[in-house]
Amino acid sequence: MKPSIPGEAEGTHPEDIEAVVQRVQTGDRQAYTMIIRQFERQMYTYCYYILKNHAETEDAVQEIFIRAYEKLPQYTSQATFSAWLYKLAYYHLMNIKKSQSRWLKLIREVKEPPEPPVFSRESMIEELLTVLSVEERHILLLKAVEQYSFEEIGGIIGIKPATVRKKYERLRRKLVTYRQNQGGSARETFAHSNR
């Protein structure tokens, strides 16, 4: 059975999203379902490659959308809703990672064995991402998942667009170098999957 991909069946134009946001802001709570469906698949992907754990990703995605709902009265159209939402997600993920990096991580490692490795495109992506710093991962994922411009990414993570560009170029070089040092295994996988 093909897994269900949330949000795949529906697509809403950015300008329509702003209208939906306004509806929610004026009290139409149910309209928020449209917003969730529009963004949840990409949001899941973004969170998953940061958190690398499906249970945590589900929790994070839910929390992000709930927080966004609660904060929606504060949203103004200065940034796109999408960028606003991802900014919220970025800070949420940063907070999760920070708390993980302390004692929580130790507990999890003892209690929950890592998910078994599966040879798939996704596991290969995961492996490649381990080469990158947390900030680099965010930049790459925001670029990949939502195809944001450097300016938009800069707005989300709070650094200058020119710096984002530099960091982005550097991280791509890092990935290329890593693949070469891998002695061709990753390259073969790329080539194989590319056929």
Q: What are the residues binding another protein (CB under 8 A)?
A: 3-7, 29-30, 32-33, 36-37, 40-42, 44-45, 48-49, 54, 58, 61-62, 65-67, 69-70, 73-74, 87-88, 91, 95, 98-99, 102, 121-122, 125, 128, 140-141, 143-145, 147, 158, 172-173, 175-177, 179-180, 187, 190, 194
Q: In whole angstroms, how close is the CB of 180 to another protein at the nearest point? A: 6
Q: Are 77 and 22 in contact (CB under 8 A)?
A: no
Q: How far is CA 31 from CA 20, 70, 155, 173, in A?
A: 6, 14, 27, 43
> Distance (Å, rounded) from C-alpha 81 to C-alpha 21?
8
CA angle (46 as vertex; 40, 133 as ends), nearest 5: 165
Q: In whole angstroms, how close is the CB of 69 to another protein at the nearest point? A: 5
- In the complex with another protein, the residue whose CB is nearer, 121 or 160, is 121
- In the complex with another protein, the residue whose CB is nearer, 13 or 102, is 102
Q: In whole angstroms, how close is the CB of 19 to another protein at the nearest point? A: 19
- In the complex with another protein, the residue whose CB is nearer, 69 or 80, is 69
Residues 6+ apart with CB under 8 A from 49: 125, 126, 129, 137, 141
Judged by DSSP in three states, 127 sits in helix
Q: In whole angstroms, how close is the CB of 187 to another protein at the nearest point? A: 8
Q: In whole angstroms, how close is the CB of 103 to another protein at the nearest point? A: 11
> Distance (Å, rounded) from C-alpha 123 to C-alpha 65?
26
- In the complex with another protein, the residue whose CB is nearer, 26 or 113, is 26
- In the complex with another protein, the residue whose CB is nearer, 15 or 74, is 74
Query: What are the helix (H) ranges across the chain?
Result: 14-25, 32-51, 54-71, 81-99, 105-111, 121-129, 134-146, 150-157, 161-181, 185-194
